Structure 1
Amino acid sequence: MGSNGKLKFLFVQPDLHRHYIPFLPKYESLHALICEAVARDFLESSLVFDRRFDTDENLIRVLKNFEPDIVGFTAHTAGEIFNVRRLIRLVKRTFPSAMTVVGGQHATLLPEDYFDSGVDIICVGPGEETFREVAEVLANGKDLSGVKGIIWKDGNEYVINPPRPISTGFIHWPPFDRTIIPRKYRRHYMWVFEAKPNVYTISTSGCPYRCKFCSLWVTQRGTYRRRKPAEIVEDIAAQPQPYVHLTDDNTFHNEDFALELYELLKKRGIKKKILAYARTDTIIKRTYLLEKWREVGLGGLVVGMEAVTDQNLDAINKKTDVNTNIEAHRILEELGLENWAHFIMMPEFKKEDFDLVWDFIDKNNVIYPIFVPLTPMPGTPFFFEAKENDQLAVFDYGFYNLEYMVMKTVIPKIEWYRYLQELYLKTCSFETLLRRSKCKSFHVLPAVGRALRFSWAVKRIWPHLLEQVAIEEKYRYEDIEHLLPPSLRRDYKPDKYYNAPRVSDMLERYKSTDNWDPQLGDVRRLPVKTYPDFDEIVDKQSYSACKIKESSKMEKTI
């Protein structure tokens, strides 16, 4: 601890396991910036270590030189949890006195998967206020029993504190201090398809919609909160980067909010290329707003089109239809705005379904499509439904990262993947780009950048897809269930308060949770348990040798 009684805070941005993800997303760690900002009053100094662009050896050096009091981690998707656990163990071996804190999506919805001897505190989010209070308590030398929204280790048990209720409304974060991120990392943060330096920020949190596939509204307990527009503008204005990525889903949902944000950006004379997100129905309702935002640099939107049939849109509870998708794309094309249209690839797809997606894209001249396999994100109602109905095909959380089809498919999985890759290659071909080049929304750098990037990625990820299929074929659930994280076992029931998707459900479940100890007051206790990482499981069963043989055999068949 610093000489003034304040804490030294190290935030570790975990790497994504290259065993599963052959290429890295290049965004800066907003979680680190938010944590430092909200807890600044109790911090003497802060530092970010971005493991995506660094090494374990350098982390050890940083731990020894910086001597942190508290080390924070985040895991947005389940695919990061193994690396987070590995890095936490490294921290504890190197600097045992540091308190380790884990937050993020997986820690919020399935904290028991982090019940490990190296994990001291788990933040059950949203965790901004919670982390501030954790820092305050630790700085003042008090115990953690009164901090709502955390699970903390007490000897050989984890103490589950009461939940921290949140409500829809405005959120306030102090200005972000990006000097805590070493310069050597900052050169990596860019909009990958144009290779331009990017500033990442957020305008809203949560979502008022309830799409079946989405984890955002579940993690935020069904709330929708907005930052004050003046704070967002200050964040954008303070950075020199020419590109801005608003990373949340609902900048344009609230009309007054989006209009005020536009007016402040215009008043400050800010005109950077802005990439934001929007639903198709929002594009139609708020067309005049998009026209205004073009004046301050809006260049493109990430759009959740999701499907090309009304049947599939209904199946995922999107609350839109195909005609809305078509009209939204027409509006964006007329405005010259890039439509980074996302489409969900369903497990029941056959060749004719992939052909339908291509026909829609080709007919409507969609230049920047992204295809995402339908993934039951761990901890969501959809995940528990898929697990209960025996729809999951692979039980290695490393593959739950939106790049793999982890559900059982109607056609052979390897055939399903081949059709998906063919779809990508069609959209990236020179012939396709040439036909699209006359469109108003065709911009050479992102269009060609996307084509080159995905043409490369399709080839790079193929061995990983083969490996996933080999794992599905080799491992029976019954044989490995006892080695899996708690949430993947049959006896795990989503009856804890932190599994609840809404605030009201969360509070109701907490009141009725078992494992109550009246002598301890309003807390629950669960034992500390450890389980092996999947890499350790497969190594013990000589999978490494087997996977090469299986992958080679399958590669010859395609």
Structure 2
Amino acid sequence: MRVLLIQPPESQSVIGFNKFGCPEPLALEILAASLDGHDVRILDMRIDPNLEGTMRDFSPAVVGVTGYTPNVPQMLGVCEEVKQLDSRVTTLVGGYHATLCPDDFGVPHVDVIVVGEGEETLPELVGALERGGDLDEIAGLAFRRDGQWVFTPPRQLLADLDESPLPARQLTDAYRENYFFQFWSSPTPVETARGCPHNCRFCSVWVFHQRRCRFKSPERVVNELKRVRSNTAYFVDDNFLQSLRRAEKICHLTKEAGLRLRYWMQARSDSIVRRPDVVERWAEIGLSTVLVGFEKFREKELDDLRKRSSVETNEEAARILRANGVDIWGAFIVDPSWERSDFDALIEYVRRLKVSFPQFSVLTPLPGTEFFRDKLGELTTRNYELFDFLHSVLPTKLPARQFYGEMARLYSSTTMSFSDLKERIRSGRIQVSGLRRIKNLLAEVSNPEAYLRGLEGGRTGK
């Protein structure tokens, strides 16, 4: 059966974190690999928007679309266009938002919603469609019957991640030179774990994964690393150091295999502090950057987010990374209730922490989370394009123009110096092409008008 999997286009009207990268669609590559025996293609509409041409040339029987909350309008738009081009096609949607908020896809041009992980559900679904079989027996689905939505029993999370197929990266080869993540060109995403055992108020990861963390074996991870075709691998796990013993074993096996790559990972500050020696060993084999969710610089605000960390731990983690020559990609959350003095304090803190690449997001109640339910009555918009972490969907204490002026000032006031950037280019930690992208990105996120244009575009749906 011919199956077309689609990464939808990004909104052209809203400035969002898509500006920071165009990553390889790993989730679609894994799903494609699960469809053994079927003719599968991936269309990345962020790069190639020619849906009509692809539909004409490939003539798929099934089209699946994925995305996060800000992508919902585009996901729906793709499904609608598919139906206009060929009404016989079965359209599917999946991903975080579709799982947590399936009602948002209850429209005539969406036929099936894949609820939860898809490696097992999708092959069963496509097989049933090919045979003309009943969908009732397939767990993890919502589908329309006689004008009503039918939900099948939940799909259990994949118990052994080593059973997840190796990504079908060959299906995105045509797009490879267009992929980037911040200052890395064509980096390779590698998944070694899923989920998180913590329950931060603002996060949807633990909700989707039922507050569980599942791991691939170190041997499986190194097998994937051996297949990396670029010089940079970035681990997409929410906390690569969740199991420090496993991270240590992966490091040992990677070194033993003689792999020469640069690595990027996400890690919690408390994991870093618990075993500084693990960070040191990874730095020895090529760890260049760690994304740390510092989030806040005041204890009470960390507690309010249920972060279960502390300012002291964050600062010690930053010290450990600096001591090992690892760049800090520090993530901070801006509260809509902030005044100018709060922005001043954050700028001072970021400078003191010597964060190499600061990232600032607006506290956003993501649909499907407890935080969203708590804040539902306060939302200023339900336009999902504006749930992009760079716009506030809650009332701001400052007037909008002033608030976004402060957001822009965060970036313009904490950008790495030109001499530091040159040093990183000389050492190979940043590519020249990456520097150009960062320059263009910073020009946008440091411009208050860019936020306001996006705000207006998002409101009007342009």
Asked if Structure 1 and Structure 2 have the same fold, meaning a TM-score greater than 0.5 normalized by the shorter chain, the answer is: yes
Q: Work out whether residues 365 and 375 of structure 2, in 8 Å CA contact, stay in contact via their aligned partners in 1.
A: yes
Give secondary structure in 2 for the equivalent of 1:49.
Answer: strand
Q: Which residue of 1 aligns with 2:155?
A: 164
Q: Which residue of 2 aligns with 1:286?
A: 275
Q: Which residue of 2 aligns with 1:31?
A: 27
Q: Which residue of 1 aligns with 2:56?
A: 64
Q: Work out whether residues 343 and 371 of structure 1, in 8 Å CA contact, stay in contact via their aligned partners in 2.
A: yes
1:423 pairs with 410, 420, 433, which one?
Answer: 410
Q: CA deviation at 1:289?
A: 1.1
Q: Which residue of 1 aligns with 2:399?
A: 412
The runs of 4+ residues in structure 1 deviating greater than 6 Å are 435-439, 469-472
Q: Which residue of 1 aligns with 2:178?
A: 188
Q: Work out whether residues 424 and 454 of structure 1, in 8 Å CA contact, stay in contact via their aligned partners in 2.
A: no
Name the amino acid aligned to 1:28: E
Q: CA deviation at 1:362?
A: 1.7
1:252 aligns with 2:241: yes
1:75 aligns with 2:67: yes
Q: Which residue of 2 aligns with 1:468?
A: 455
1:241 aligns with 2:224: no
Q: Which residue of 1 aligns with 2:384?
A: 397
Change (3 A) 1:28 1:460: farther
Q: CA deviation at 1:231?
A: 2.5
Q: Work out whether residues 192 and 216 of structure 2, in 8 Å CA contact, stay in contact via their aligned partners in 1.
A: yes
Indicate the RMSD between aligned Cα atoms, in angstroms.
2.5
Structure 2 CA distance for aligned equivalents of residues 391 and 193 of structure 1: 37
1:277 aligns with 2:273: no
Q: CA deviation at 1:312?
A: 0.9
Q: Which residue of 2 aligns with 1:140?
A: 131
Name the amino acid aligned to 1:401: D
Q: CA deviation at 1:168?
A: 6.4
Q: Work out whether residues 151 and 158 of structure 1, in 8 Å CA contact, stay in contact via their aligned partners in 2.
A: yes
Structure 2 CA distance for aligned equivalents of residues 207 and 139 of structure 1: 36
Structure 2 CA distance for aligned equivalents of residues 461 and 11 of structure 1: 36
Q: CA deviation at 1:296?
A: 2.7
Q: CA deviation at 1:255?
A: 2.1
Q: CA deviation at 1:132?
A: 2.6
Q: Which residue of 1 aligns with 2:340?
A: 351
Structure 1 CA distance for aligned equivalents of residues 355 and 187 of structure 2: 24
Name the amino acid aligned to 1:20: V
Give secondary structure in 2 for the equivalent of 1:378.
Answer: coil
1:14 aligns with 2:41: no
Q: CA deviation at 1:34?
A: 1.2
Structure 1 CA distance for aligned equivalents of residues 279 and 53 of structure 2: 48
1:49 aligns with 2:74: no
1:366 aligns with 2:351: no
Q: CA deviation at 1:394?
A: 2.2
Change (3 A) 1:121 1:322: same
Name the amino acid aligned to 2:24: E
Larger Rg: 1
Q: Which residue of 2 aligns with 1:342?
A: 331
Q: CA deviation at 1:459?
A: 5.2
Q: CA deviation at 1:8?
A: 1.4
State the TM-score, normalizing by the size of structure 2: 0.92
Structure 1 CA distance for aligned equivalents of residues 293 and 422 of structure 2: 23
Q: Please, which moves more after superposition, 136-145 or 78-87?
A: 136-145
Question: Unpaired runs of 5+ in structure 1?
Answer: 1-6, 473-533, 536-543, 545-558
Deviations 1:218-241 (A, max 9, x none): 121222111233222222211320
Name the amino acid aligned to 1:30: L
Q: CA deviation at 1:471?
A: 7.7
Q: CA deviation at 1:435?
A: 8.1
Q: Work out whether residues 414 and 469 of structure 1, in 8 Å CA contact, stay in contact via their aligned partners in 2.
A: no
Q: Please, which moves more after superposition, 248-257 or 303-312?
A: 248-257
Structure 2 CA distance for aligned equivalents of residues 97 and 34 of structure 1: 26
Q: CA deviation at 1:155?
A: 3.2
Q: Which residue of 2 aligns with 1:318?
A: 307
- How many residues are matched? 457
Q: CA deviation at 1:460?
A: 6.1
Q: Work out whether residues 365 and 436 of structure 1, in 8 Å CA contact, stay in contact via their aligned partners in 2.
A: no
1:85 aligns with 2:58: no
Q: CA deviation at 1:414?
A: 1.9
Change (3 A) 1:435 1:350: farther
1:98 aligns with 2:89: yes
Structure 2 CA distance for aligned equivalents of residues 122 and 170 of structure 1: 23
Q: CA deviation at 1:453?
A: 4.1
Change (3 A) 1:166 1:448: closer
Structure 1 CA distance for aligned equivalents of residues 145 and 282 of structure 2: 51
Name the amino acid aligned to 1:174: P
Q: Which residue of 2 aligns with 1:445?
A: 430
Structure 1 CA distance for aligned equivalents of residues 223 and 66 of structure 2: 26
Change (3 A) 1:450 1:317: farther
User: Percent identical across equivalent pairs?
Assistant: 28
Change (3 A) 1:334 1:429: closer
Name the amino acid aligned to 2:150: V
Q: Work out whether residues 332 and 359 of structure 2, in 8 Å CA contact, stay in contact via their aligned partners in 1.
A: yes
Structure 1 CA distance for aligned equivalents of residues 448 and 438 of structure 2: 15
1:152 aligns with 2:152: no
State the TM-score, normalizing by the size of structure 1: 0.77
Change (3 A) 1:95 1:394: same
Deviations 1:395-430 (A, max 9, x none): 211101112111111222221111121121011274
Q: Work out whether residues 414 and 466 of structure 1, in 8 Å CA contact, stay in contact via their aligned partners in 2.
A: no
Q: Which residue of 2 aligns with 1:500?
A: none
Q: CA deviation at 1:209?
A: 0.7
Change (3 A) 1:471 1:259: closer
Q: Which residue of 2 aligns with 1:498?
A: none
